[in-house]
Copies of this chain bind each other. A is one copy, B any other.
């Protein structure tokens, strides 16, 4: 853990800039935010459900999920996050976590105090808008997941999750064509998909049998992207890759 690492290493600023120009002063102010690097092992809680938080996390490397646990022990994973994502931007205004955050592989994050983020957001309205936009995309992804678990078959929703993961990895240069790492156990994937691990195993087998995907050592290859997209009803609109409305 070192003090005040530069935020620019985490690719989040790069993401905001991909979505729209940001003035040099705002970039400088953002990059100057006090950040602390922290490292987590596999299967560690970064934030526990119900915990009060004081910092937000930028993900430098690794994979985490946000999840909720029900009283009967069942768990629903709400989203996965990868390099360049701001994991819990919402905690800036909602400091009591209504869900947990947990690593799936060794993970590095940069922590920034909420107060510092609120401060730059108020001083630079363009940054405030960029952060707001980011939480809106977050919400759009949650909506898509609701559609996924609510109205798609196990086969369709599994295909959909794989395509979303691939798309987002590509954006940050972690997928090579149709091949990408997916270092998440089937038990965890099934918690994201709202199905049982056993049924997920059979579903993945069926996708392989139909030559839609192949898998080896937690790497996935989309063998037939077109049929996969059709099967999943995958449409990237909800990821809003075009960035926010431009303000005159």
Q: Which residues of A contact B (CB under 8 A)?
A: 50, 66, 68, 70-71, 74-76, 78, 90, 92-96, 98-99, 114, 118, 121-122, 125, 128-129, 131-133, 135-140, 142-143, 145-147, 149-152, 193-194, 233, 237-238, 240, 244-245, 247
Given contacts A118-B129, A118-B247, A139-B142, contact A147 B76 (CB under 8 A): yes
Cβ-defined contact, B149 with A149, below 8 A: yes
Contact of A71 among B135, B194, B233, B247 (CB under 8 A): B233
Cβ-defined contact, A96 with B237, below 8 A: yes
CA distance A135 to B128 in the complex (A): 13
Copies of the polypeptide in the assembly:
2
Please classify the interface of chain A as helix (H, G, I), strand (E, B), loop, or mixed, using the class held by over half of its residues.
Answer: helix
- In the assembled complex, 7 residue pairs joining A and B whose CB atoms fall closer than 8 Å, in A order, are A66-B143, A71-B233, A76-B151, A93-B136, A98-B237, A142-B143, A151-B194
Closest CB pairs A-B (n = 9): A150-B194, A139-B139, A142-B142, A122-B125, A149-B150, A93-B244, A76-B147, A76-B151, A76-B150
Q: Which residue of chain B is the closest to A72 with respect to CB atoms?
A: B233
Given contacts A94-B245, A142-B139, contact A75 B125 (CB under 8 A): no
CA distance A50 to B237 in the complex (A): 9
Contact of A140 among B98, B136, B237 (CB under 8 A): B98
Cβ-defined contact, A78 with B151, below 8 A: no
Contact of A93 among B74, B75, B132 (CB under 8 A): B132
A136 to chain B, nearest CB (A): 5
Cβ-defined contact, B151 with A70, below 8 A: yes
